[in-house]
Structure 1
Amino acid sequence: MDTLKEPFDFPVRENTKSFLEIIHVETGERETLATFDQVIEAPNWTRDDRIIYNSGGHIYSFDINTNERNVIDSGFACFCNNDHVLSPDESQIAVSHHTLEDRQSRIYILPLKGGHPTLITPMAPSYLHGWSPDGKTLSYCAERNGQYDIYTIPTSGGIEKQLTDLPGLDDGPEYSPDGRHIWFNSTRSGLMQIWRMNAMGSDQTQMTFEESNNWFPHVSPNGEKVVYLSYRKGDVEPGDHPPNKDVELRIMSNSGGESRLLLKLFGGQGTINVNSWSPDSKQIAYVRYELND
């Protein structure tokens, strides 16, 4: 167990205001749920209309109907980044927590109501992105031997399985609701693009071919649509996803084809790092930022 025996300077973006917002994917209607005088990131949307997000290393719950905000007790896992995912039954949350011994990200599971975290990935760094619909497997991006690839591991822990091994950065692996596919983003073709593969790693197929850098594909609960974050070509290096950039949220069919613009905003890192679809597949939660003067 990690204990706080020394200071840990968790990275903080100062002078930034955060806006937790939702957008209807068909009408484009937007609503601001709450404003924060600090950085919040990566909303997960629960079936009982709560938004789970991270801020300052902690995990929080925001009730859409009452605006009540509560920190989720995650024990020693209090240096969590923006890679957190709910279990299919929403009884648990898996988090990526920077451990004290080497300050690298490892994946833990704990009750969503709060409780003791259980280590799943002893090897680091590991950044969580997906939980299989049957509840048995986690998917994540990990650096091993200087290369970032896609891995899976049983939720009970054990031996990780490497799914990608081509040159370039592979990131953002998320299961489709039927469990057949893992969607991810990769620089293997030059720019960062959206890819899809079978859940065991075969048939790796490029799904976007745009002159932009596309990150974090999130499949709607009904399996029909995919939303992702897009940086303009030239604004960032293909393997980088910084904050405080003019970006777009784009949406496409799960079968591929041409995407359409959903929203332009000031954001990037933290906006939609994890799946933030509403349970009815009609809306997306996201975080927009403003820099204070």
Structure 2
Amino acid sequence: MNEPLHAENPATKPVPRTLRYGQRCEVWVGSATTGSRERIFASDDLLLEAPNWTPDDSALILNGAGALWRLNMSSGSLAEVPLAGIPDLNNDHVLAPDGERIYLSANDGHIYRADIRGGNATRITAEDGYFHFLHGVSPDGRELAYVGMEAGKFTKPGRLMTMPSAGGPPASVDTGAGHCDGPEYSPDGEWIYLNTETFSSRPGHAQIARVRADGTGLDRMVHSGTVDWFPHISPDGQRASYLRFPAGTLGHPADLPVEIVTVSLDDWNAPLNTWALFGGQGTLNVNSWSPDSSRVAYAAYPVR
């Protein structure tokens, strides 16, 4: 979720993030099997966020400067995806299972659907008094999972919501009293993984959890002293990745020393890989596993 700037003033238009003086945007790919990692793209001008891997393994889809971008994996070339009928984007975007469509959250607080090649986008959320921050699409493509926040009231906890991907009335899923974020379906569609503050009395102490898609069986996955966000399940259902912030972090801010952690779904408390970087917001907001479940893509923002 990319929280709007100046949340105390709902009339203030959110502004897409830019690089700080002396800062660089880097896109990396880490191997979940060997632990090695490789930088595949860098820019001193454009801040890119939240890579999605296309199902054909040919490209990463990212947002930057309010637009959508396609990074070709073989050539390293970057091209804007031409979209119309949609405001500036934030970093919550997820490809449909068919790889032909993409669902996008925009800075007006709504969710849109568009062709992955570009064109006119269609808004699918209603004017219901909420901001809608998309994070998950069900494996059959029929349902979306998102975080609903009362418009302009970002001091209140976000709530897990689901809705038909074609549009329609939302349903609320109970995950307790704490703020939640990053809801994402498991590959079999039985679970929604998320981070939540429900299990802690410490402000901002987010932990990884899951709840059944029918709203039952809330279960904590990680017991840690760090602040853990954005669980992503590999397509084969064997591994997960998430973003680890330092203890005491409030929310998921930008420009901090953070770690990407990969684990086996059988044991979330025994990391398989831990990659340290300077980043946070924008690094791993959406699922960035490769189609073959062997690699994880992410963004870093080092300052020289």
Fold in common (TM above 0.5): yes
Aligned amino acid, residue 267 of structure 1: G
Structure 2: how far apart are the matches of 1:12 and 1:279? 28
CA shift for structure 1 position 9:
5.8
Superposed displacement of residue 97, structure 1: 0.8
Report the Cα offset of residue 59 of structure 1: 0.5
The answer on 1:199 being equivalent to 2:213 is yes
Please give the residue correspondences for 1:84-233 in structure 2 after superposition, counting only pairs within 5 Å.
Answer: 84-99=93-108, 105-122=109-126, 123=128, 124-144=130-150, 146-164=156-174, 166-190=176-200, 191-233=205-247
Q: What is the CA RMSD across the aligned residues, in angstroms?
A: 1.6
Distance 1:9 1:168 in 2: 25
State the alpha-carbon separation in 1 of the partners of residues 229 and 295 from structure 2: 19
Output the amino acid matched with 1:208: V
In 2: Cα distance, 1:284 partner to 1:78 partner: 29
Name the SS of the counterpart of 2:302 in structure 1. Answer: strand
1:25 paired with 2:35, answer no
Code of the residue aligned with 1:218 in structure 2: it is H
1:62 aligns with 2:71: yes
Is 1:14 aligned to 2:25, yes or no? no
**Equivalent residues of 1:164, 1:170 under 8 A apart:** no
> Is there any run of 5+ residues in structure 1 with no aligned partner, and where?
1-6, 100-104
Runs of at least 4 residues off by over 3 Å: 144-147
Cα 1:61–1:78 change in 2 (3 A) is farther
Look up the match of 1:39.
47
* Identical pairs, percent: 35
Distance 1:65 1:91 in 2: 20
Instruction: Report the TM-score, using the length of structure 2 for normalisation.
Output: 0.88
Match of 2:62 among 53, 56, 66: 53
| Alpha-carbon separation, structure 1, partners of 2:216 and 2:175 | 12
Aligned equivalent of 2:4: none
1:270 partnered with 2:282: yes
* Distance (Å, rounded) in 2 between the aligned partners of 1:46 and 1:257: 26
Deviations 1:49-105 (A, max 9, x none): 200000011000011001222111220324100000000011000000123xxxxx2
Q: Which residue of 1 aligns with 2:256?
A: 245
In the alignment of these two chains, the number of paired residues is: 278
TM-score (norm 1): 0.91
